[in-house]
Amino acid sequence: MWVAWNQALASIRVRFLRQIVTTVGISLGIAFFCSVQIIRVTETAHGESADRLKWLVATSLVMCLVGVTNSMLMSVAERYREIGTIKCLGASDSFIVKVFFLEAVLLGLVGSSVGAILGSSFMALAEKYQGNPPGFAGFATTVVLGTVIGLVMTVSAAIAPAMQAARMPAAAALRVEV
């Protein structure tokens, strides 16, 4: 597990700019989700506007999921030779899956926690100035819920790319020119 952890960290360091963009995408999706949750906690949205907000949140989370999946697929495509080399040296398919899952966990944890804190904070401030502060329990619940949803979403987006990387034949991966 320690080797997979180091491999995931090295991958994030090498592809730092793309990982930052992915993390910002996760943060924005979760920030929007948490801001809507704060509105829901303070009960300032009613009727049709509440239904519209639910659809907007669902759409933003789906777009975030697609963005994370795309980023992870690009990571697999860029790392064909690296994956082939690691597999030729004896790495198992489960090791490859662990590396991609750990990478997704790191990105998801950082992105969703930053997004949850920022989205909840900004909306809590806005609601406070309108006279409807959410309270600490509502704020904390929203931050924890946003972080968990972001983490689950990021890890689920990494399933298909991780399985694709694990199924890759080692010899074919070494022959691919990227």
Read off the pLDDT of residues 46-59 as tens digits, 9 standing for 90 and up. 666 777 888 888 89
Segments forming the whole domain that contains residue 37: 2-175
Say what the pLDDT of residue 157 is: 92
Cα–Cα dist 160/52, whole Å: 31
* Domains of the chain: total: 1
Residue 14: phi and psi, rounded to 5, are -70, -40
What DSSP state is assigned to residue 168? Answer: S
Spatial CA neighbour of 10 closest among 92, 99, 71: 99
Query: How many Å apart are CA 59 and CA 51, to the nearest integer?
Result: 13
| CB of 139 closer than 8 Å to CB of 53 | no
Question: Given the structure tokens 């890890």, which residue do they identify?
Answer: 155
- The CA distance from 121 to 98, in Å, is 34
What confidence tier does 176 reach under pLDDT thresholds 50, 70, 90?
low
Query: Closest by alpha carbon to 60, among 140, 118, 146?
Result: 146
Residue 119 has pLDDT above 90, yes or no: yes
Are 103 and 75 contacting, i.e. CB atoms less than 8 angstroms apart?
A: yes
Q: How many helices (H) and strands (E) does the chain have?
A: 8, 0
- Is the full-model pTM beyond 0.95? no
